[in-house]
Amino acid sequence: KYLGLHDIRTEFLNFFESKNHLILPSFSLIPKNDKSLLLIGAGMAPMKKFFTGEEIPPAKRVTTCQKCIRTGDIDNVGLTDRHATFFEMLGNFSFGDYFKHEVIPWAWEFLTVNLEIPKEDLWVTVYKDDDEAYNIWRDVIGIPEEKITRLGKDDNFWELEVGPSGPCSEIYVDRGLEYGSEDERPGGEGDRFIEVWNLVFTQFDKDENGNYNPLSHPNIDTGMGLERIATVLQKTDNIFEIDAIKDIIEEIAKVSGKKYGEDKKADISFRVITDHIRAMTFMISDTIVPSNEGRGYVLRRLIRRAARHGRKLGIKRAFLFEIADMVIDSWGDQYKELKENRESIKEIIRREEEKFLETIDDGLVRLNAHIKEMKTNNERLLEGKKAFKLYDTYGFPIDLTEEILKEEDLDVDMTGFEEEMELQRKRARDARDDKNIGWANQDNKHLFEGISNEFLGYEKNECKGHII
């Protein structure tokens, strides 16, 4: 059944509301009172304390659509069909309430009844020792055994550094031989089987020493990628070609004068830019500003990486900030912090972009000269000092330098670079103000007069009755 991105979100939240879940708005991308995380990368991440019992949840059953950033997936963006750095994760959560026997049939019902995905296309994996989940899939749902794979800890055990963890069960959609080979299986390389939903049976609390302590009440945490399920329903090749997101690609095509779908390399750039624009727009709406540290550095890296891919498409001027409007228009009803901060978001992107454009060409000339020299001398590693100079003077985030070198089969001397960086950090540390977590608190505050997008949390009881 064809459904648009925004309709799938509504359908999901309404489905779980009908199963007595409380709909909460997405939490901020900035983790709250949680030093173990830089950015929120899963629906459960902002709710960790509900799982451990440190905080009381507003309801035992909760459902959300959470904005997520996963920088760990950045190298996959544009290359695989299914990875973005920014995406929305649909989830339903049980805090010591229901468990496997409820969540598995509900997931099945939502996929096969509400979304009308053919049962034959669905495959699942379970944790190797989780007979309970295996039996529910086989006996209650009726999935044939050959479509249930037992996988080890790497794949089917969910955990962060510390906190709630447990075995999980992933649901895959077989997209057919058009997308892979006959012998491909869920959990392997390749994009024929696309993982859409992860059901996590959170029954442990992992401590700093790596011990798994059983929780008194087991929990449920699930995560379904909104863009992925849209890809399945809309039968597109990848998560960037679905409704709303494809419009961004088309706009970049207009700006660059190039067509999407004609040149494989250019297409990667189109998808990278599209992804990064979404990520930067959402990050800034959550009060993150470009900087040389932490979240701000992630943002800076995304903006500059997108700008460089824009260059690759032949775009010579700042353009990212204009396209941010499309993200704000399309997602602004769901995430009002986008609309409320439209001008600031665009201004922050434009400034960062323009600043980088001033130096990018000189930096590229310099880096290309290094590359030439390295090749002549048969060297594989770019000196740390040179990489640092590119970073410090030309604004090249180290990952960008690394990425460009990798395209030539070369690399950076990271130890040397880190040494230079450490010296720099020492200098910066003295001047740092620890309270600077967002632009609302920064020196350039005057730019954003009248703006307030403080997170209104459940503890203020403000999201009770909040409708999506």
Name the residue nearer to ligand ATP (CB basis): 73 or 329. 73
**In the complex, what is the shortest distance from the CB of residue 289 to ligand ATP, in angstroms, rounded to a whole number?**
24
State how far the Cα of 340 lies from the Cα of 451, in Å rounded to an integer.
7
Closer of 198 and 256 to Mg ion (Cβ): 198
Sites for Mg ion among residues 174-233 (CB under 5 A): 195, 198
- H-helix or E-strand containing 217? strand 212-225
Looking only at residues 165 through 184 of this chain, which bind Mg ion when binding is defined by CB under 5 A?
170
Based on CB atoms, which residue is closest to ligand ATP, 196 or 233?
Answer: 196
User: How far apart are CB 387 and ligand ATP at their closest, in Å?
Assistant: 27
Return the one option of ligand ATP, Mg ion, none that residue 370 interacts with (CB less than 5 to 8 A, by type): none
Q: Give how many residues touch Mg ion by CB under 5 A.
A: 3
**Residue 342 CB-density burial (10 A; 0-12 exposed, 13-18 middle, 19+ buried):** middle
Please report whether residue 85 would count as binding Mg ion according to CB under 5 A: no
CB of 273 to Mg ion, least distance (A): 22
CA-to-CA distance for 24 and 7, rounded, in angstroms?
17
Tokens of 384: 């740390």
Give whole-number Cα distances, 428 to 26, 219, 293, 439, in Å.
33, 43, 10, 18
Q: Nearer to ligand ATP by C-beta: 192 or 228?
A: 228
Q: Which of 348, 386, 385 is nearest to 367 (CA)?
A: 386
Give me the least distance between CB of 290 and ligand ATP, in Å please. Answer: 22
CA 340 to centroid of chain Cα atoms: 22
Alpha carbon distance 166, 202 (integer Å): 4
Rg over alpha carbons for the chain, rounded to the nearest Å, is: 23
Q: Which one of Mg ion, ligand ATP, none interacts with residue 62, CB within 5 to 8 A by kind?
A: none
Considering the complex, what minimum distance in angstroms separates the CB of residue 49 from Mg ion?
22
At 419, give phi and psi (nearest 5°): -60, -45
**Farthest CA pair distance, the chain:** 67
- Report the nearest approach of Mg ion to the CB of residue 202 (Å): 14
User: 343 CB contacts (<8 Å, ≥6 apart)?
Assistant: none
Please report whether residue 238 would count as binding Mg ion according to CB under 5 A.
no
Which residues of this protein are in contact with ligand ATP, per CB under 6 A? 70, 73, 82-84, 87, 89, 195-198, 223-225, 227-228
Report what 82 binds from Mg ion, ligand ATP, none; CB cut-off 5-8 Å by kind. ligand ATP
- Residue among 95, 88, 29 nearest 62 (CA): 95
Please identify, using beta-carbon distances, which residue of 72 and 176 lies nearer to ligand ATP: 72
Q: How far is the CB of 310 from Mg ion (least distance, A)?
A: 27
Identity of the residue, 70 or 370, whose beta carbon is nearer to ligand ATP in the bound complex: 70
> 106: helix, coil or strand?
helix
195/420 with CB nearer ligand ATP: 195
Interface residue list for Mg ion (CB under 5 A): 170, 195, 198
